[in-house]
Amino acid sequence: MVLIDGKATAAQIKAEIKEEVDRIVSNGGKRPHLAAILVGHDGGSETYVKNKVLACEACGFQSTLIRFEDDITEEALLAEVDRLNCDESVDGFIVQLPLPKHISEQKVIEAIDYRKDVDGFHPINVGRMAIGLPCYVSATPKGILELLRRYNVPTSGRKCVILGRSNIVGKPMAQLMMQKQYGDSTVTVCHSRSATLKKECQEADIIIAAIGKPGFLTADMVKPGAAIIDVGTTRVPDPSRKSGFRLSGDVDFEHVAPLCSFITPVPGGVGPMTICMLMQNTLSAAKKEFYR
């Protein structure tokens, strides 16, 4: 069994990015610049944004954090998005989700210039990804593809089961895994309504679990030799931790791991790759790799 080390892989990729940025800057080029808008003080969001700022430093990027209280109007937030769209010093930016209920997330996402949409959530990027055109692929699916590639996990022609059909993970993951240029797999998407979920998992060569139910994937659902990617990051109360919680994946790691060919831990698997792929998208934005 190979433990897929997302933390080490992410560190490696960030070092590669830093090297390229140093080269760009020493050749007189512009340092990539990522901006992030954070609304309110949600604990998870604070952590994510902080880690994104730290990742920017590690990659040699310029970063700008723009904070608003959660009583900001939709109009004011859209105006800020528009300002960043027009700010030529900013290569890419994100609006950290979730947003307060009085603001339409979809409206905000669609207001972002797709050429700066390094989260890959704008319909143009989603659509281009679906039909196999160059674009910003959203960070979590992109990070999973990168782990599969760097660990030489065989995917072509294999049966890949995806648990969950969210817009952020399950759906784009399915679209990528089925494409010849990415996974080239036989892809099955299971969800809460799937009658044959267990059987699908038992037949899978690769399982990507993204349903947010701690320990959902148990050993009896896994074929010996399967590769398991765990996207779950549910906060489970844990009084023994200083934070009061620990992150729990969708996989019963203790019992599933001995069966697998490859498995990602939680934390330290998919999580660190997500931010790292946001950095890669920002570098692509700075290099105008996909647009303009």
Which residues have a catalytic role annotated?
Answer: 52, 96, 119
| 142-181 binders of a second copy (CB under 8 A) | 156-159, 165, 167, 171-172, 174-175, 178-180
Minimum distance of a second copy from residue 134's CB (angstroms): 11
Q: Does 195 bind a second copy (CB under 8 A)?
A: yes
Residue 14 neighbours by CB under 8 Å, 6+ apart:
55, 58, 59, 276, 279
Which of 131, 152, 181, 240 binds a second copy (CB under 8 A)? It is: 131
- CA–CA separation, 6 and 269 (whole Å): 4
Three-state DSSP state, 177: helix
Closer residue to a second copy in complex, CB, 80/200: 200
**Exposed, middle or buried, 84 (CB in 10 Å: 0-12/13-18/19+)?**
buried
What single-letter amino acid sits at 65? Answer: L
| Residues 83-122: x where in contact with a second copy by CB under 8 A, - otherwise, as a string | -----------------------x---------------x
Residue 249 identity (one-letter amino acid): G
Short-list 180, 254, 184, CA closest to 217: 254
Q: Which is nearer to a second copy, 38 or 145 (CB)?
A: 145
Q: Which tokens in the block code for residue 200?
A: 């699908």
Question: Which residue lies nearer to a second copy by CB, 13 or 217?
Answer: 217
Q: Specify the residue, 14 or 128, whose C-beta has the smaller distance to a second copy.
A: 128
Residues whose CB falls within 8 Å of the CB of residue 283, separated by 6 or more in sequence, listed in order? 17, 20, 21, 32, 59, 61
Question: Is the Cβ of residue 199 or residue 287 nearer to a second copy in the bound state?
Answer: 199
Q: With contacts defined by CB under 8 A, how many residues of the chain interact with a second copy?
A: 41
| Least distance CB 193 / a second copy (angstroms) | 4
190 touches a second copy (CB under 8 A): yes
Per DSSP, the residues of 116-162 read G-TT--SHHHHHHHHTT-S----HHHHHHHHHHHHTT---TT-EEEE
Interface residues with a second copy (CB under 8 A) are: 106, 122-133, 156-159, 165, 167, 171-172, 174-175, 178-180, 184, 186-191, 193-197, 199-200, 203
